[in-house]
Amino acid sequence: MEKQSKHIPFEEFADNLASIIEKVIHDHKPVYVESQSGELIEVKVAGPTDPKRREFTADEDKAFLSAAGSWSDVDTDEFLKDVYESRRSSRPPVDL
């Protein structure tokens, strides 16, 4: 039988913040903090609970490796000059 979700009053949460956060991270189960007015706030781990690196397919590996060095022929100084030039505005500045 699954244990009911844990509800704790805000005062207990505030007094034991570090230990409660560690427990949420360790157990991967949310804790519900209850305000004096009865509203509930869920505290849970934001990221994946079981992070595993997925394996790439042969096609994905090939596509990734084909991109290596694809910008080697770009003149970076000219590229930056073009970027900054395109950011200039022909409009007069606005005086507030």
We report the CATH number of the domain holding residue 17 as 3.40.1620.10
Provide the pLDDT for residue 2: 45
Provide the pLDDT for residue 1: 37
Q: In this structure, is residue 36 part of a structural domain?
A: yes
For the whole model, what pTM was predicted? 0.45
pLDDT string in tens for the chain (96-residue length):
345 668 899 999 999 999 999 998 888 889 999 988 989 999 998 876 566 667 889 999 999 999 888 888 999 999 999 999 988 888 888 888
Provide the pLDDT for residue 96: 86
Q: In this structure, is residue 28 part of a structural domain?
A: yes
Q: In this structure, is residue 50 part of a structural domain?
A: no
Domains identified in the chain, total number:
1
Q: In this structure, is residue 10 part of a structural domain?
A: yes
Q: In this structure, is residue 67 part of a structural domain?
A: no
Provide the pLDDT for residue 7: 87
Q: In this structure, is residue 21 part of a structural domain?
A: yes
To which H or E segment does residue 14 belong?
helix 10-15
Contact 2, 28 (CB under 8 A): no
Q: In this structure, is residue 57 part of a structural domain?
A: no
Q: In this structure, is residue 55 part of a structural domain?
A: no
To which H or E segment does residue 43 belong?
strand 40-43
* Span between the terminal Cα atoms of the chain, in Å: 66
Structural domain range at position 13: 6-43
